[in-house]
Amino acid sequence: MRMSVWTLAALSWLAACAAPEAPAPAATAAEPYTLTLLHVNDHHSHLEPGALAFDVSGLALDAAPADGRVSVAYGGYPLITALIEARAAQGDAVLTLHAGDAITGTLYYTLFEGEADAALMNLICFDAFAPGNHEFDHGDAGLAQFLDFLGAGDCQTPVISANVVPHDASPLLGRLQASAVFERGGRRIGVIGLVIAEKTRISSSPDPETRFLDETETAQGEIDRLRAGGMEHIILLTHQQYANDLTLARALTGVDVIVGGDSHTLLGDRGVLAPLGFTPEGPYPTMETNADGDPVCIVQAFEYARALGELRVSFDESGRVIACSGAPVFPAAASGYSFSRDGADIALSGADAARVRAALDRHPLLHPLEANAESEALLAGFTAQLSQLRETVIGEAAEPLCMVRLPGEGRAEPLCDRAETHEHGAHVSALVAQAFLEREGSADIAIQNAGGVRASIPAGPVTIADVFTVLPFANTLHVLTLSGAEIIETLEEAVAASASGGGAYPYAAGLRFAVDMSAEPGARISAVEVNSRLAGEWTPINPNAQYKVVTNSFTAGGGDGYRVFARASAEGRVTDTFAEYAQSFVNHVRARAEAGQTLSRPDAGIMSTQRFINADGCDHSQRADCGGG
């Protein structure tokens, strides 16, 4: 409870009157109360360690890598678990928090649907978990299933989300609480959960009747309720992006700390992080001032279980924040360092390995340690099942779904006759674009480059392995805001780049056009029409209108010559959904199967290439004997 200056003075006067003959003690300042928060966010089913290129150029190794760097395993749940155990043992005023988006993003989710994530999270046993938008990717039932996994063991992590109101028939009913209350070191702490409302409604797949309330109004209401009940400290555990956390802090009264997620933001000292290959977006912690005029500490802990945020917050007697400090800590392997030479991996040993370990120990943000053995064994069990589960059947193709780059392409295609793709091009690439559009509810249209689709799908059962053969790259879905004129420009540059191999050729959903490869560059695209989300009528594209375009991260960054996409990304007109692009096609196939439908070739009317004239001027719509595309 916060006390005014007058209240504190009055209490001091009463105490003095109660014992007039006692000698006055020497005035001493009360020790501040310090709370430590250990937090992660957005691990997105990344359970295994990654590889850090660590600079050893100053270590004079006997077996020296040519580029001066060795590979060090870091992050992943076995190492994160060990680090949390080590840090939590240092004091009793500690909370462990997860700020959402635990699931989706790797095969561990595709194949285990959250069971592997929950099992490893339960070993840590977080004090609180706030679901993110991706927890709603498979509706309320999908999140309920994940919560079943999360509550299956002895650990019962509170799941907090104050601004989610499940509908009356939702399997989430009664399973989410607005906040959780803890006592640490003699103080009462309230932790309130929030998820980004509009993004979750539009870009994920919650049940339509489930409501997502305004973040600011909801947070203030729950803060007021907890404060009225005598809560001394308030933490918001949010999944709503770093920039929104800064704005939220300024708008609220009674908030002390915001631990966030969703934007995958790395915070910290640029001078320390840059040599490790990381670029922070702000200081850790970032300080704001709330509507009371009091300090608020704001943190986030990057992504993919790479780092553990460690925040220490000191409070005065009235419960006001007086200091915040900390950093993201990267757990690193205690051994197993290597580098590549002539295509072979060279393992460091003896004195070289000891020198690297000593350098890691000296680094302010790296913490080398042995992985948690139980977590490591649990993860190994799931990993061992991956190869078998990749053969899981998720649907069925009614006919061969052909992959070519250009319509009428002359490449060898064992499953399809050339005539089957002569007029409109690849079926499977069109279906991939449709899957993108289904997955990303904020987008009007989807565009996929031909080279990003690597295989046809034969008629018959479709497995997860088939999907990852079709889409083998490590891409996420990005949403760009483009004008109609920019979309036309994108199509022009894509068909121009495709003349050198076809990899850039555009396949789209909600967008169709005519192509004349014999025309001059810049004049090859015509008759461009849009049918937003394939939910209405086809209308001519408006050059001055703004459209949301979902694509893969490779082309969003300018890959395959998509310069307009790169320009829009550089200007900040892009959102990384962090949704794994192959997962969207898995969802597409499964949804058809659940509806009792098979995969089939798209109708000609929604294929993006409506007319194709090749470089020799042969119109594929008029003649079946045109040469290669």
Angle (CA) 103-107-112 rounded to 5° is: 65
pLDDT in tens, 138-189: 999 999 999 999 999 899 999 999 999 999 999 999 999 999 999 999 999 9
Contact 396, 590 (CB under 8 A): no
How much is the pLDDT for 38?
A: 98
Residues of the chain with pLDDT under 50: 1-28, 412
How much is the pLDDT for 418?
A: 84
As given in the structure block, the two tokens for residue 465 are: 């392995």
10 Å Cβ neighbour count for 250? 12
How much is the pLDDT for 250?
A: 98
How much is the pLDDT for 26?
A: 40
pTM across the whole model: 0.87
How much is the pLDDT for 5?
A: 26
**Residue that is written with structure tokens 């295989």 in the block:** 455
Q: Which residues pair with 457 in a beta bridge?
A: 401
Closest CA to 161 of 236, 259, 253: 236
Determine whether 347 is exposed, middle or buried from the number of CB atoms within 10 Å of its CB (0-12, 13-18, 19+): middle
Q: How far apart are CA 442 and CA 609, in angstroms?
A: 23
Residue 277 is which amino acid? G
As given in the structure block, the two tokens for residue 43 are: 């691990």
Is the link from the previous residue into 206 a cis peptide, with omega within 30 of 0?
A: no
How much is the pLDDT for 522?
A: 94
As given in the structure block, the two tokens for residue 186 are: 């003699």
CA atoms within 13 A on the CB side of 536: 11
How much is the pLDDT for 8?
A: 27
b/e map of 181-213 (b: 16 or more CB within 10 Å)? ebebeeebbbbbbbbbbebbbebbbbbeebebb
Which phi and psi angles does 149 have, rounded to 5°? -60, -40
User: What does DSSP say about strands 574-580 and 33-40: parallel, antiparallel, or unpaired?
Assistant: unpaired
10 Å Cβ neighbour count for 282? 17
Q: How far apart are CA 140 and CA 210, in angstroms?
A: 8
pLDDT in tens, 387-425: 888 999 999 999 999 999 999 875 545 678 888 999 999
How much is the pLDDT for 272?
A: 97
Q: Over 105-157, what HEC string results?
A: CCHHHHHHCCHHHHHHHHHHCCCEECCCHHHHCCHHHHHHHHHHHHCCCCCCC
Domains in the chain, please, with CATH?
Answer: 29-58+67-386 (3.60.21.10), 393-613 (3.90.780.10)
Q: Over 233-295, what HEC string results?
A: EEEEEEECCHHHHHHHHHHCCCCCEEECCCCCCCCCCHHHHHHHCCCCCCCCCEEEECCCCCE
Rg (CA), the chain: 28
How much is the pLDDT for 2?
A: 34
Q: How far apart are CA 499 and CA 192, in angstroms?
A: 55
Closest CA to 393 of 534, 599, 195, 212: 599
**CA distances for 252 relative to 200, 235, 289, angstroms:** 22, 12, 9
